[in-house]
Chain A
Amino acid sequence: MPPPAGVSGGITATRTLPLPLKRGRPRVADRVFGSGVAIAGAIVLVVIGAMIIFLVLEGLPAMQHYGFFSFITASRWAPSDAFPNVSHPNPYGILQFIYGTMLTSIIGMLIAVPLAVGAALVITDVAPQRVKGPLSALVDLLAAVPSVVYGFWGIFALIPAIKPVVDFLTTTLGTVPVIGIAFQGPFFGVSYFTAGLVLAIMVLPIIAAVCREVFRSTPRNEKEAALALGATRWETIRIAVLPRSRSGIVGAALLGLGRALGETIAVTMVIGNAVLHINPSIFSQGATMSSVIANEFTEATEPFHLSALFVVGFWLLIVALIVNILARLIVRRGVAL
């Protein structure tokens, strides 16, 4: 271990080093230090591995009782129908949660990606130099607001604000044959759509931050070349910035998607927690994989209930791992948020 002598910091500290060579000791200390930090590094891998193993272990009783695939082929979650000696049909269907997670995330992404790309472009290429810093700090600040606050705000500020619009949509779009089924009322405020909106706000800063880095890395001389050829501002962005950034934007969107899939508390507060079946309308109440865990975990008293929640957690982890790994492979070094 390195001597914890009073080091005031900076480069001057090297003066106080014990210069006379003591063979052996520093080497041992060095080796201990080296293995210590290597162990610290390996913890990340241990944690991810242990997560998978322990979620499977806890979910195993339910998986053995009902069968591995019966969870993702049923869409009815009714713990009160569970009995220790009945294993068919599986009362813990999770297809509607997977649907809810996907639907809310897709709504969130459809709104957040264009806004985030636009905001990032303004910050890197449009805004005057002086405004860029404060603007990017403000957009980053969206990520600092805690999830529980977004959920609370969603219930009391967002829902009343969107209610008239959604009511209008349910009476117009909702009555159109075929596609109307996706927009049917009644709208009670809490819904897939509301959750999607809140998710959009929450992932916007993450996507914008990564996009900012991506746009910033476009070569300056190409932008100048475009301008010199007489391109307008928008044309410069379109021919010199966007084509090079395509994969970066995809990576950023995937990172945002990963976050949206797992977001819990805000979604739990505004989605309505309807667990019995798949609701086709985006304005109806539902549940996601994460919301059902948050909602029922500490009250899971029925047979295999808690174990089934771990099964939900296991699938959520698998989905999140896949999306995040893909995103990181594309972005490589994104931004920590």
Chain B
Amino acid sequence: MSQLALGAPGLRKRQSLRRRRGKSVVMVGLLVAAVVVAVGVLAWVLIYVAIQGAGALNLNFLTHNPPGNPGAAGGGFFNGIVGSLIIVGLATAIAIPLGIGAAIYLVEYGRGRFSATIRFFNDVLIGIPTIVTGAFIYAIWVTRFGFSGFAGSLALSIVMLPLVTRTTEEMLRLVPNELREGSLALGATRSQTVMRVCLPTALPGIITGVMLAVARAMGETAPLLLTALGNDLFTQYNPTQRMSTLSLQIFDNAVTGFQEGQARAWAGALTLIVIVLVFTFVARFFGRRVRTANA
């Protein structure tokens, strides 16, 4: 309150109302301009990719592998799409149990400094450059077992883990304490309470978090360069071998300098954006249900 009174030099300075109103219109206009720029850039990117990608995106693109020569026309990113699905799928399988487990610990069990430290460094891990994550997996895994799709999954799981932990934690905190108390009063143990009461209640929100993490992992390229490496020759279903992903193929073909390769890369970029947007929208749909349910 006092801050408002003291912090109002603009009101104490004598200025005509007209001038103050004029200034307000200008400043608010600038703020609106900022939003227009942000949304405009989004539209520019999406429309540009859609136009460039639509030319080359067809069934053939989705069902064929790239030709051996990057300058040749035709072909597609089938092996990259398969690779992305396998690698991200495995990463999700690693990140979900660990992330949810960590969140359960933070909300239901953790007390004191240790859990505060975990929470803090979980947030910090979200901001660690993913190329460093890739280098880390290279050091502990690739140097021993070679480049492989699974190494890529390990790197992506480190990208996803803190995201899953964070959203699950927030959703578990929204579960009313009365539910826990009711369950415990009926004689359930703590683990039963968590597994049968807290998690099911928080489930829609947890799904949102997982899907957003999957969307993020789908687009990651840098850590995969150092782990999955890429493989343009054939479709690799075995994650112990080096694998291609959609993002890696976009990167490789975008910088080849061949127009045919770039056409494939645009189609790949459009495919990737569609996949990511679908995940984001579905996640938002679940997320909205959560919010209304807990309001």
Contacts and interface: CB of A to CB of B under 8 A. Distances in A.
Interface of A: 1-2, 7, 9-11, 13-14, 16-17, 19, 21, 26-27, 29-30, 33-34, 36-45, 47-48, 50-51, 54-55, 57-58, 114-119, 121-123, 126-127, 135, 137-139, 141-142, 144-153, 155-157, 201, 204-205, 208, 222, 225-226, 229-235, 237-240, 243-244, 255, 258-259, 261-265, 269, 290, 293-294, 297-298, 309-310, 313, 316-317, 320-321, 323-325, 327-328, 334, 336-337
Interface stretch (B64-72, B102-110, B231-239): B102-110
17 contacts: A11-B201, A40-B98, A41-B106, A51-B128, A119-B35, A139-B42, A144-B276, A145-B276, A155-B254, A226-B4, A232-B21, A232-B24, A258-B127, A298-B229, A324-B127, A334-B123, A336-B163
Contacts of A155: 254
A40 B200 contact: no
Interface string B29-43: 011111101110110
Interface residues of B, number: 114
B147 to A, nearest CB: 8
Nearest to B178: A11
B269 interface: yes
Given A43-B98, A201-B41, A234-B27, A320 B32 contact: no
A50 B222 contact: no
Contact of B34 (A47, A115, A262, A324): A115
A290 B135 CA distance: 11
A324 B127 CA distance: 6
B109 A119 contact: no
Nearest to B283: A144
A251 B48 CA distance: 33
Nearest to A143: B216
A317 B200 CA distance: 37
Per CB-CB distance, the 5 closest pairs between chain A and chain B, nearest first, are A262-B129, A146-B219, A118-B34, A40-B101, A232-B24
A239 B12 CA distance: 12
Contacts of A156: 48, 52, 262
Nearest to A26: B189
Nearest to A229: B11
A26 B93 CA distance: 27
B197 interface: yes
Contacts of B277: 141, 144
A149 B49 contact: yes
Interface string B51-87: 0100000000000000000000000000000000000
Contacts of B34: 114-119, 122
A269 B24 contact: no
A171 B2 CA distance: 52
A337 B191 CA distance: 30
Contacts of B207: none
B44 to A, nearest CB: 7
Contact of A264 (B100, B121, B186, B222): B222
Given A235-B10, A261-B129, A336-B163, A50 B45 contact: no
A141 B42 contact: yes
Given A122-B34, A156-B52, A148 B247 contact: yes
B181 to A, nearest CB: 11
B280 interface: yes
Interface in B99-127: 99-102, 104-106, 108-110, 115, 117-118, 120-127
Contacts of A33: 190-191, 194
Nearest to B21: A232
A298 B201 contact: no
Nearest to A45: B121
A225 B7 CA distance: 13
Contacts of B191: 1-2, 29-30, 33-34
B247 A293 contact: no
Contact of B35 (A122, A259, A323): A122
A169 to B, nearest CB: 19
A181 to B, nearest CB: 29
A33 B117 CA distance: 21
Nearest to B213: A336
A149 B102 contact: no
Contacts of A290: 129, 131, 222
B38 to A, nearest CB: 5
B200 A320 contact: no
B110 A142 contact: no
B10 A297 contact: no
A135 B34 CA distance: 12
B294 interface: no
Given A11-B197, A45-B117, A54 B136 contact: yes
A121 B27 CA distance: 11
Given A41-B106, A263-B129, A298-B229, 12 more contacts: A11-B201, A40-B101, A44-B121, A51-B136, A55-B139, A115-B37, A122-B31, A142-B42, A152-B265, A225-B4, A231-B8, A264-B221
Contacts of B276: 144-146
B30 A118 contact: yes
Nearest to A17: B188
A238 B10 contact: yes
Contact of A320 (B3, B8, B129): B129
A19 to B, nearest CB: 5
Nearest to A21: B187
B39 A14 contact: no
Nearest to B184: A14
Interface in B126-149: 126-133, 135-136, 138-140
